[in-house]
C-alpha cells in the first residue's frame, strides 16, 4: 500500500470517527438541490437527489438520502471534481483539457479508471457536467449530471 493512500485512509477514518458531516454547519448559502442523472448508455434519466445543501464559492455540499453519504462538487474554471464519501465512495477529477481520473472506494478495495470531460456548464442556479468513465479502453459509463439549486 502506498504511503499517501494509507495516510488518506487514516485521515478519513479519523474524520468519520470525530464528526458527523453536516454541510449546513459550514458558512455559505443554504440551497435546495435537485440532481438529474442522464445515462446515455442505459438511455435512462432520473432525479437522484432532492435535498437541501450548501453552496459556497464554487462548491456544492449535500447529504444523500441515507444520511451518512455526502457529496462535494467543486466547479473550478478548468476542472470539475465530484467527491462522494460514505460506505462506498468515489472521486472523479475532470480537467477540461487533459485526461481525468476516477477513483472508487469500497470495503472490498479500491479501483482507478480513466475519466474524460465531455462538456460542462456553470450558470446561476444550474451546473451541468457530462463525462465518460473508461477502464482498459472500454467505455464503462457516459452520463450527464445536472444540479439545479435555489436559495432557501
Number of structural domains found in the chain:
1
What pLDDT is stored for residue 7 in this prediction? 52
129 in any annotated domain:
yes
- Structural domain includes residue 141: yes
How many CB atoms within 10 Å of residue 130? 18
Is 106 within the bounds of a domain? yes
What does the pLDDT read at residue 44? 97
Q: Is the pTM of this model over 0.85?
A: no
- Residue 2 covered by a domain: no
pLDDT recorded at residue 20:
44
Q: Is residue 56 part of a domain?
A: yes
pLDDT confidence of residue 9? 52
Domain enclosing residue 83, as ranges:
22-151
Per-residue model confidence as pLDDT tens for the chain (152 residues): 444 455 555 544 544 444 444 444 445 789 999 999 999 999 999 999 999 999 988 899 998 888 888 999 999 999 999 999 988 999 999 999 999 999 999 989 999 999 999 999 999 899 999 999 999 999 999 999 999 999 98
| Whole-number pLDDT of residue 47 | 96
The enclosing domain of 45 has a CATH number of 2.40.128.20
In a domain, 15, yes or no: no
Amino acid at each position: 500500500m502506498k504511503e499517501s493512500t494509507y495516510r488518506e485512509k487514516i485521515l478519513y477514518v479519523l474524520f468519520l470517527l470525530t464528526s458527523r458531516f453536516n454541510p449546513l454547519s459550514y458558512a455559505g448559502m443554504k440551497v435546495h438541490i435537485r440532481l438529474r442523472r442522464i445515462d446515455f448508455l442505459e438511455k435512462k434519466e432520473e432525479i437522484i437527489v432532492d435535498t437541501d445543501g450548501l453552496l459556497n464559492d464554487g462548491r456544492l455540499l449535500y447529504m444523500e438520502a441515507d444520511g451518512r453519504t455526502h457529496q462535494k462538487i467543486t466547479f473550478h474554471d478548468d476542472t470539475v471534481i465530484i467527491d462522494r464519501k460514505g460506505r462506498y465512495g468515489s472521486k472523479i477529477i475532470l480537467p477540461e483539457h487533459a485526461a481525468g481520473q476516477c477513483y472508487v472506494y469500497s470495503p472490498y478495495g479500491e479501483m482507478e479508471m480513466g475519466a474524460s470531460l465531455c462538456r460542462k456548464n456553470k450558470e446561476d442556479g444550474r451546473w451541468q457536467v457530462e463525462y465518460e468513465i473508461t477502464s482498459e479502453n472500454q467505455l464503462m459509463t457516459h452520463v450527464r449530471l445536472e444540479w439545479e439549486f435555489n436559495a432557501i
